[in-house]
Amino acid sequence: MRKIILSVIGVLLIVGAFFLAQKLIANKKKPKPKVEKVVKTVFVEKAENKTIPIIIPANGNLIAKRRVDIYAEVQGVFKTGSKLFKAGTVYRRGETIINIDNAEYIASVKSAKSNLYNQITSMMPDVRLDYPDIYPKWQSYLAGFDIDKATPKLPEMGSEKEKFFISGRGVLTNYYNVKNLEQRLSKYRIVAPFKGVVTEALVTEGTLVRSGQKLGEFINTDVYELEVSISKEYSDLLKINEKVILSNLDKTQTYTGKVVRVNGKVDVASQTIKTFIEIKDSSLKEGMYLEANLSAKPEENAIEIDRSLLLEGDKIYVVKDSILEVIDVRPIYFSDKKVVLKQVPDEAVILAKPVVGSYAGMAVKVYKKKQVKSRE
């Protein structure tokens, strides 16, 4: 019985293997399905060489054209004035910004003036005896000498003898020492060199101010400058007094400025030249970020395309007989999104939008707009 069962199973396995082999042979002979070739649709436009204006975008932060850093040249206590020395305080030209206590120094100046007065007085008897002709002018000088006022200029010396006599008595040395002290006395009072506003205050009233200490910053709010960096290729095309349109970051306000200076030195690292644009507007503030569009030269016989269509820096795709081909071009100017090209043949069919996976020799289909027939 066991032998019979094994024999039946063996026959069944042989039959099954025979049919499986027949099926595999039949499947192998079936033709492979054809893969349909996909032809991509592309957007194109005809190249038209014309004059392309070169607009150079630039940006930067406003800086006050007239600004001073306030430093102390003397030492003393900062006295309270008519206005608080705070950021935002406005001063007129000639108005006192900072007044430092000078009582001790004034006493020293008056002492030096008194010594000069006494010295001139002590030589007057000798002048009357030896030089009676110059006595009246020196007597007049003493009569006009006031210790509480600025030291008057010494009388003109008409002869060498007079000059030697006066100098030999030490009058000239003491006189210039007094003038030096008076000059330093003026530094205890810092006045506004122009109408402006304090933008930075580093000291307050009652503070001990030391010589060489920075006290604050003062700017004029009437005129501002925008410093921008321009490629050296176009720097020589910018003209002084050329008008420039500027706008804020949100494009909500526009301003008109003019080019006032172009630096004669090229920045070694960036190969750019700094250009300065002057702007006058009451609404401007120092530090504001502005964007400017500077008109350079127009390029003739050129086209402008998106930078994404440029290949390897100097090639673009053209469509010829529904096939993509690559041609060489010469880039002239790059902006953030556009590039100006030369050596592009007129009427050449170029891509208007980039194609994913494109290559030279690729078959494409040009997109054509459907024309809607008008009903009569």
pLDDT of residue 131: 86
C-alpha to C-alpha distance for 41 and 364, rounded to whole angstroms: 6
pLDDT value, residue 372: 44
| Residue 209, pLDDT score | 93
Q: Calculate mean pLDDT across residues 124-146.
A: 89
81-125 pLDDT, tens per residue? Answer: 889 999 999 999 999 999 999 998 999 999 999 999 999 999 999
**Does position 74 have pLDDT exceeding 90, yes or no?**
yes
pLDDT band at 37 (very low <50, low <70, confident <90, very high): low
Nearest to 145 by CA among 181, 176, 168, 121: 121
pLDDT for res 80: 85
| pTM of the predicted protein model | 0.64
pLDDT tens track for 206-263: 999 999 999 999 999 999 999 888 877 776 667 788 888 899 888 888 999 988 988 8
Q: Report, in angstroms and rounded to the nearest whole number, the Rg of the chain calculated over CA atoms.
A: 45
Confidence of residue 376 (pLDDT cuts 50, 70, 90): very low
pLDDT at 31: 58
Joined together, the tokens standing for residue 272 give: 């750019």
Beta bridge partners of 303: 341
- Give the mean model confidence (pLDDT) for residues 340-358: 88
pLDDT, position 370? 56
Residue 270 has pLDDT above 50, yes or no: yes
**At which residue do the structure tokens 């005896």 appear?**
129
Q: State the average pLDDT over residues 193-218.
A: 93
Q: Which residue has the tokens 């070169």?
A: 54
Say whether pLDDT at 57 is over 90.
Answer: no
Sheet (strand 214-219) strand order: 67-71, 214-219, 196-201, 90-91
- For residue 159, give Cα distances in angstroms to 221, 232, 286, 362: 54, 63, 59, 103
Report the pLDDT value the prediction gives residue 55, as an integer from 0 to 100.
Answer: 79
pLDDT surpasses 90 at 2? no
- Helix or strand or coil: residue 327? strand
**Residue range 40-56: mean pLDDT, rounded:** 86
Residue 42 gets the label, from left (phi > 0), alpha (psi -120 to 50) or beta, of beta
CA distance 222 to 226: 14
Residues 200 and 36 sit within 8 Å (Cβ to Cβ): no
Q: Residue 245 has what pLDDT?
A: 87
3-state secondary structure string, 162-204?
HHHHHHHCCHHHHHHHHHHHHHHHHHHEEECCCCEEEEEECCC
